[in-house]
Amino acid sequence: MSVTLSPVEPSIEPSIAGVGDYIALMKPRVMSLVVFTALVGLLVAPGHVHPVIGFAALLCISVGAGAAGALNMWYDADIDARMTRTAARPIPAGRVAPGEALAFGLTLAVFAVVVLGLLVNVVAAGLLALTIAFYVLVYTMWLKRSTPQNIVIGGAAGALPPMIGWVAATGGTAIEPILLFLIIFFWTPPHFWALSLLLKNDYSRAGVPMMPVVQGDRQTRYQIVLYTIVLCLVTVLPLLTRSFGAVYLGGAVVLDGILLTDALIAARRPTARSARRLFYHSMIYLALLFAIMAIDRVTGL
pLDDT band at 11 (very low <50, low <70, confident <90, very high): very low
Ordered by start, the domain boundaries in the chain are 19-173, 174-301
pLDDT digits (tens, 9 = 90+) for 24-70: 999 999 999 999 999 999 999 988 889 999 999 999 999 999 999 99
Percent of the chain whose predicted confidence (pLDDT) is above 70: 94
Q: Which CATH superfamily is domain 19-173 in?
A: UbiA prenyltransferase (1.10.357.140)
> 177 near 166, Cβ under 8 Å?
yes
**pLDDT at position 16:** 73
Q: Is 255's pLDDT higher than 50? A: yes
For the chain, give percent helix, strand, coil, nearest 5.
Answer: 75, 0, 25
Q: What is the average pLDDT score of the chain?
A: 92
Average pLDDT estimate for 174-189: 96
Rounded CA-CA distance 197/193 in Å is 6
**pLDDT at position 1:** 43
Q: What is the dihedral of CA 210, 215, 218, 220, to 10 degrees?
A: -40
**pLDDT at position 299:** 83
Average pLDDT estimate for 168-177: 93
Q: Is 220's pLDDT higher than 50? A: yes
**pLDDT at position 301:** 65
Rounded CA-CA distance 274/164 in Å is 34
Kindly report the number of other CB atoms within 10 A of residue 55's CB atom. Answer: 12
pLDDT digits (tens, 9 = 90+) for 270-288: 999 999 999 999 999 999 9
Q: Is 12's pLDDT higher than 90? A: no
pLDDT digits (tens, 9 = 90+) for 92-143: 999 999 999 999 999 999 999 999 999 999 999 999 999 999 999 999 999 9
Which amino acid makes up residue 19?
V
Rounded CA-CA distance 245/238 in Å is 9
Backbone Cα Rg of the chain:
22
* Lowest-confidence segment of 3-7, 57-61, 155-159, 274-278 by average pLDDT: 3-7
**pLDDT at position 21:** 92
**pLDDT at position 4:** 44
Rounded CA-CA distance 225/229 in Å is 6
